[in-house]
Chain A
Amino acid sequence: MLKINNLKVSVGDQQILNGLDLKVNPGEVHAIMGPNGSGKSTLANVLAGRDNYTVTEGSVQYLGKDLLEMAPEVRSREGLFMAFQYPVEIPGVSNIYLLKSALNAKRKHQGLDELDAVDFLSLVKEKLDLVQMDRSFLNRPVNEGFSGGEKKRNEILQMAVLEPKLSILDETDSGLDIDALQIVTQGINTLKSETRSIILVTHYQRILDYITPDFVHVLADGKIVKSGDRSLAYEVDEKGYGWIKN
């Protein structure tokens, strides 16, 4: 699914990722943990195609193609999805415009017809139930005036509608109370399958109580310094990140 090889990335003059390697197979859930400033969010953003990040070395293969050559919209249509750490508010653009436009762009890319209004609404309604969002959310401007929890649920709603092959969740657990965390993780779990992969970027192991990772990686100074199974997350939680670095 995804093969990252010796990835080096800088922002401005500063190198953030220093030769990162990662391989994700279909159906796997990978957790990427690390302290602040270790490069977690940089990794997520580079994969999604955000500007201002310069790849100085290395490669990223996604489904056998060069991911770094693709524009952000093409990555999305090819099945890659990033749930933002800080979803942006877009006044005047309602959620339903975004969902319809995104889904139709993907279907067009796949050579499928656009969904008609009835089919689209019934699909979206089903996905709304998944993240326990009211239908009125559809007509509200994207994220405008949403609480932190609502913004994160909205990310998962988009993910559910787009049914990505590879989801990158950038600190989706941050700022969530326990109820919201349950709703969000339940939504994510419903989307897990043998063909879909998930990369969970997180500071804390808390979210891993709800979504069981197959692999846990610890990132420090722009590199993966330790990989293991779920027990590694508990260890990090108990001992802190200093333990690994040393």
Chain B
Amino acid sequence: MKTTPTEHYHQQFTVVRSELPGLSTPWFDQLRKDALNRFSEKGFPQRKAEDWKYTNLSVLTDHNYVTKTDQIGKINDGEINSIAGEIDAEISLVLINGRFSKLLGNLTSENFRLENLATLVSREPETIREYLAESAETLTAFESLNTAFMADGVYLHVNRDAKISKPIQILHVTTSQDDHVHYNTRNLFIFGENSEVRIIERFLSLDSIPGYLNNTVSQVILKDGAKAEYIKLQDEDPQSFHLSVHRVHLNRDSRFSAHSFSLGGLLSRNDVRVDFLGENASCNLNGLFLVDGERQADNYTTTEHRVPRCQSSEQYKGILNDQGKGVFRGKIKVHQDAQKSDARLNNSNLLLSEKAEVDTMPQLEIYADDVKCSHGSGSGQLDTEQLFYLTSRGIDHAVAHALLVFGFASSVLERIESESLKGFFKNLLISRLSANREIKELVQ
């Protein structure tokens, strides 16, 4: 008889527990066990659940994923350095197959502390106890599995008043291992009072690796007056799976600006949950997803306006080709006390083929009366008038097509505050367009 998921993950836990960090810390070990039990109680979400209705869950639940405990496979160090070097970063932390590999760059800054989570858990677990304890009420089976099996990740604490102009880079590289391995990484980002920082987190695959699952959970805490720009790039193997949850806590006067680029993966899903905890904070969530073949990208966001005078604005765009599929569910909830909230939300999608499909659900729930809120969505094909206009100027049809696709995506790029990162993403996006050589020459 086939092993049930519950049996499988309990067996896995018994096998790998001693290889995971924190065994000697009772509360940490208990945290894992509790999470595993919660997973057993709740099981995987059912497809009829509202949040999973449009996602093909079976690809995630039919396989019994395993945790690899042996050392990282063979890595070409030069290749890793050259990938990291694509970003002009203050410092880069590299994780390979879900485990810490190395740090590159300015290692002696007094402005922040950057460490891998496993080291911190074994040396001074109390530093992170309050943050991990806070997330005990996990919402999905995948978050429970993440807590039960987290092997490593990133701890970044930016000191109060610190201003770090170059981005801090976190590089997750996956390389050849067996099929159906899952990597459970956990990040903790804590931005001190009035600090200013920029983070870029990249998920990449080095070889073609069928069927692995990156299951990552990040907690992001902005203290009073902190300003953070956070960019996530998921550009993994087209056969891989990617699940990611971000829980963002915004305190008074803080400003969070996030940009998410979902370019790879057979199925990727981002859940971003933002809580406004202090007044006068603001949050911008931007995203771009690109799917082709039979790939799918899902983006779910929930913004909770719990306190007055906060501002949120959100724009996600999707470009869908072949039989690609996209899901966007953006939810804004304005609680009763959150007067003077200003919330805007928009999703627009470009369908480049007849068979591409997108489900878009902007949602507003408003319980306060003095607020400004708007939401909208639209999906359509390339505008034939625009195409004719460009070709009537002598521009090749394929180039005109690519220019319009680039033009559609460019508003997401324009929102990136860092000029150097904007340039990086512009080039990356162009490299994915059909007439990329011509377009690249044009927009330089």
Contacts and interface: CB of A to CB of B under 8 A. Distances in A.
Interface residues of B, number: 27
Interface in A48-97: 48-51, 71-73, 75-77, 82, 84, 87-88, 90-93, 97
B394 A88 contact: no
Contacts of B410: 92-93
A119 to B, nearest CB: 15
Contacts, number: 83
A82 B394 contact: no
Interface in B343-396: 383-386, 388-396
A147 to B, nearest CB: 18
Contacts of A50: 388, 392
A88 B407 contact: no
A101 interface: yes
Given A97-B442, A101-B399, A92 B411 contact: yes
Contacts of B409: 92
B408 interface: yes
Contacts of A90: 386, 389-390, 404, 407
A97 B408 CA distance: 14
B200 to A, nearest CB: 23
Contact of A101 (B386, B411, B442): B442
Interface residues on A, range: 20 to 34
A158 interface: yes
B129 interface: no
Nearest to B394: A76
A217 interface: no
Contacts of B256: none
A72 B385 CA distance: 13
A141 interface: yes
Nearest to A82: B392
B407 A98 contact: no
B333 to A, nearest CB: 30
Contacts of B408: 91-92
A105 B407 contact: no
A109 B394 CA distance: 9
B397 interface: yes
Contacts of A230: none
Given A92-B411, A105-B396, A73 B391 contact: yes
Interface centre among B391, B393, B410, B443 (most CB of A within 10 A): B393
A92 B396 contact: no
B403 interface: yes
Contacts of B438: 101
A88 B260 CA distance: 30
Interface centre among A101, A109, A141, A142 (most CB of B within 10 A): A101
Contact of B411 (A91, A98, A106, A158): A91
A100 interface: yes
Given A97-B403, A101-B403, A88 B395 contact: no
B388 A51 contact: yes
B39 interface: no
A216 interface: no
B385 A88 contact: yes
Interface centre among A82, A87, A92, A106 (most CB of B within 10 A): A92
Nearest to A76: B394
Contacts of A91: 407-408, 411
A199 interface: no
B183 interface: no
Interface string A203-224: 0000000000000000000000
Interface of B: 383-386, 388-397, 399-400, 403-404, 406-411, 438, 442-443
In order of increasing CB-CB distance, the 3 nearest A-B pairs are: A92-B407, A76-B394, A92-B410
